Amino acid sequence: MLSRRSSLALVAALTASLALGACGDGGSAASSPAANGGSTLSVVTSTNVYGSIAQAVAGDRASVTSIISDPSADPHSYEANTRTQLELSKASVVVENGGGYDDFVDTMLKSAGSGATVLNAVELSGKTAAAGGELNEHVWYDVETVRTVAQAIEGALAKAAPDDAATFEANLKTFEAGLDTLEAKIAADRAETEGKAVAITEPVPGYLLDALGATNRTPEKFSEAIEEETDVPVDVLQETLALFTGHQVRALVYNEQTTGAQTEKVLAAAKENSVAVVPVTETLPEGKDYTTWMTENVDAIAAALKG
């Protein structure tokens, strides 16, 4: 799973060392600052998913900047630039995903000489790769990990701005109440989604599918090849397509931010055989916060699996 991540990190390292600004397919770094009454407390997150979580905890007491926020962009193609380095150099708290997903953050932090508190979601999650396998680094699809990240953000903000600690604590409680509701919904839906067969293009929604008790029938070599951006072996592609022609799965849950010829074949096969298709993304759609977005993902997947 690290080929795209590794190339992203290489681009970031070259950008930092040469001090050249560059825009990839996802565009330049984007910001979503809070109205903070002139506060100098700054939080920088690698994507707007973590930006939404940080904003929920910080409220109007900090400025929150998300480096990647374009909902139509593929985060793997992002190329860090000098604006990114500037934002990171000013940050009090930085939230990254880790696990090889956004290595440009660490590269740029070193170049910026930042003294920020850095929170790594994968490390906070405690998740590790299964024996002989690779880690699914898309940990923001795991609600308990998000809770842990939010708690870590609250602690880091309270340390940076002790006078606002009570506000951060209250905001965290409100955010966690929303996560409680989300987890209750997942648990209720699981009663009807447990064991239902599903296919994926990439591991992006994996943790959520696990929480719903769904059974992933996708050949591992298929999703690995899509993730690595390599050609899917012909026999593996045929095995994957048979999931739809043979109606072996209830739904295809696919990452709509990354496409290719083989992904399109799978998508077409699902539609042609009346298999439910559920798109998911790696960044927040415009106008959504984390809890609303993830609730909608749960609703869409659960409806497809129940159908």
pLDDT at 76: 63
pLDDT at 257: 86
Q: Are 122 and 135 in contact (CB under 8 A)?
A: yes
Shared fold status for 2-184 and 185-306? yes
CB-neighbour burial class of residue 60 (10 A; exposed 0-12, middle 13-18, buried 19+): middle
Q: Are 254 and 267 in contact (CB under 8 A)?
A: yes
3-state secondary structure of 68: strand
Q: What's the CA gap between 300 and 20, in Å, rounded? A: 42
CA dihedral 265, 267, 273, 278 (to 10 degrees): 170
Superfamily of domain 2-184: Nitrogenase molybdenum iron protein domain (3.40.50.1980)
Q: How do 117-120 and 197-200 pair as beta strands?
A: unpaired
Q: How do 63-68 and 276-280 pair as beta strands?
A: unpaired
Superfamily of domain 185-306: Nitrogenase molybdenum iron protein domain (3.40.50.1980)
pLDDT at 77: 65
Domains of the chain by residue range? 2-184, 185-306
- The mean pLDDT values, 10 residues at a time, for the chain of 307 residues are 39 35 38 50 96 98 93 67 88 96 89 90 94 89 98 98 98 98 98 98 96 96 86 94 97 90 95 98 94 98 94
Q: What's the CA gap between 307 and 304, in Å, rounded? A: 5
Q: Are 233 and 180 in contact (CB under 8 A)?
A: no
